[in-house]
């Protein structure tokens, strides 16, 4: 852990932004933390933060502390090239979510068919963006998914380098080579736009708009990752992810970091005859049942 005292305010703000706006006035600020959680070197001391948490009863403060520790550990292991203790990070994340009411957690589903819960975001400068969230797949989510839309708009690329750690299940990551065509093809590139305030993390309507660029798509790999594994996706590389675990239950910790790769534009592949398609991510989906289901499955494995 190497979080500086001077960086703590921005770090805390990036954590707090990933809670529901309904609880914004309940979330702790820097003044709610004692000075002695930092050592003489001005580095955050986890043992002191844990000691402080043990004397507190405010559920939002405890939730935020759990996320601080989890996110800082994810960042450190990722940036230093070390191995993330995935189960430990997951326990902290789960406790953070289960400590507070469901509506205080931003939890929505998008075009790729998984539940997405943001944990940390710093998007002040796009070329320096960092975004950490968890992804959960389960067959019970099918009632919220437009299956045809999910199937037609599943292959995509990201503007930012991404890394995923598999917490549980069996995750599939298929990679594709996408080539622009001179003549008409079955599929085209679509650009992604958002309708809503930038502060509405994972709570917006996204639209895919046909860019008028026809493409040929060729699958180049079919990768399967089990619990404890990690995989990378370079900025601009086309892929689609899914689950092949029994009952569809799988979960990952997912990180975007622009400093490790950044492109100005990202795309999704869709049918050439479609001009635009929308995904509404404003619906809140209660994550509690799925988290409890995951915890039970993890303990049994």
282 plus 173 within the same structural domain: yes
| 36 and 175 inside one domain | no
Report pLDDT for 279.
Answer: 73
103 inside domain: no
Verify that 48 and 187 share a domain, yes or no.
no
| pLDDT of 253 | 98
Indicate the pLDDT class of residue 1, thresholds 50, 70 and 90. Answer: low
**What average pLDDT score do residues 119-130 get?**
95
Examine the domain organization and report whether 225 and 155 are in the same domain: yes
Q: What is the pLDDT of residue 197?
A: 46
53 shares its domain with 162: no
Give this prediction's pTM: 0.93
Q: Which of 79, 98, 117 is the last residue in one of the domains?
A: 98
Q: What is the pLDDT of residue 219?
A: 98
Q: Reply yes or no on whether the pLDDT at 173 is more than 90.
A: yes
Structure tokens at 257: 């970091």
Mean pLDDT confidence for 114-140: 96
pLDDT for 117 equals 96
Judge whether residue 198 has pLDDT over 60: no
CB contact at 8 A, 127 and 278: no
Tally of structural domains, the chain: 2
Residue 222 belongs to domain spanning: 108-300
With a cut of 90, say whether residue 28 has pLDDT above it.
Answer: yes
For residue 200, pLDDT beyond 70: no
First to last CA, the chain: 29
Of residues 81 and 270, more confidently modeled: 270
- Please state, for a pLDDT cut of 70, what percent of the chain lies above it: 96
- The overall average pLDDT reported for the chain is 92
User: What's the CATH number where 147 sits?
Assistant: 2.60.120.10
Residue at a domain's end among 40, 74, 98: 98
Per-residue pLDDT averaged across 193-222, rounded? Answer: 80
Name the domain boundary from 51, 74, 98: 98
The answer to whether residues 154 and 270 belong to one domain is yes
Q: How do residues 137-157 score in pLDDT, each as one tens digit?
A: 999 998 888 888 888 999 999
Spacing of C-alpha 216 from chain mean position: 29
Residue carrying structure tokens 């000075």: 35
- Cα separation, 191 vs 189, whole angstroms: 7
Provide the pLDDT confidence category of residue 282 given band limits of 50, 70 and 90: low
Please say if the pLDDT value at position 234 is more than 70.
yes
């Amino acid at each position: 852990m190497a979080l500086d005292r001077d960086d703590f305010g921005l770090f805390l703000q990036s954590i707090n932004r990933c809670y529901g706006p309904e609880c914004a006035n309940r979330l702790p600020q820097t003044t709610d933390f004692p000075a002695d959680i930092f050592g003489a070197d001005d580095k955050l001391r986890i043992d002191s933060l844990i000691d402080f948490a043990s004397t507190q009863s405010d559920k939002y403060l405890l939730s935020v502390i759990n996320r601080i520790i989890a996110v800082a550990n994810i960042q450190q292991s990722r940036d230093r090239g070390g191995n993330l203790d995935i189960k430990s990070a997951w326990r902290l994340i789960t406790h953070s979510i289960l400590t507070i009411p469901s509506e205080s957690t931003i939890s929505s589903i998008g075009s790729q068919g998984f539940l997405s819960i943001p944990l940390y975001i710093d998007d002040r400068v796009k070329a320096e963006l960092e975004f950490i969230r968890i992804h959960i797949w389960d067959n019970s989510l099918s009632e919220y998914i437009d299956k045809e839309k999910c199937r037609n708009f599943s292959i995509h690329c990201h503007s930012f380098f991404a890394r995923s750690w598999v917490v549980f299940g069996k995750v599939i990551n298929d990679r594709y080579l996408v080539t622009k065509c001179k003549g008409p093809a079955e599929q085209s590139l679509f650009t992604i736009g958002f309708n809503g305030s930038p502060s509405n993390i994972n709570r917006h309507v996204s639209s895919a708009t046909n860019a008028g660029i026809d493409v040929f798509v060729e699958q180049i790999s079919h990768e399967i990752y089990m619990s404890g594994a990690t995989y990378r996706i370079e900025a601009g590389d086309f892929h689609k992810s899914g689950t092949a675990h029994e009952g569809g239950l799988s979960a990952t910790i997912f990180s975007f970091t622009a400093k490790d790769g950044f492109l100005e534009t990202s795309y999704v592949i869709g049918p050439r005859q479609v001009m635009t398609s929308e995904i509404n991510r404003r619906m809140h989906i209660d994550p509690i049942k799925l988290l409890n289901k995951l915890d039970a499955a993890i303990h049994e494995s």
